[in-house]
Amino acid sequence: MHISEDRISHIAHRIHDKLWRDDLADFPDERRALEAIKGSIEGFFSIMEQVDQAVRAKLASYSQAKVPGSREWEILYQKFYAEELAKRKW
What is the reported pLDDT for 90? 73
- Tell me how far apart the terminal alpha carbons of the chain are, to the nearest angstrom: 18
CA atoms within 13 A on the CB side of 54: 16
pLDDT value at 1 more than 70: no
What is the reported pLDDT for 11? 96
Q: Where do the domains of the chain lie?
A: 5-87
Q: What is the dihedral of CA 52, 58, 64, 70, to 10 degrees?
A: -20
Name the band, by pLDDT with cuts 50, 70 and 90, for residue 89. confident
| Residues 16-71: tens digit of each pLDDT | 999 999 999 989 999 999 999 999 999 999 999 999 999 999 998 887 877 788 89
What is the reported pLDDT for 66? 77
Classify 21 as helix, strand or coil: helix
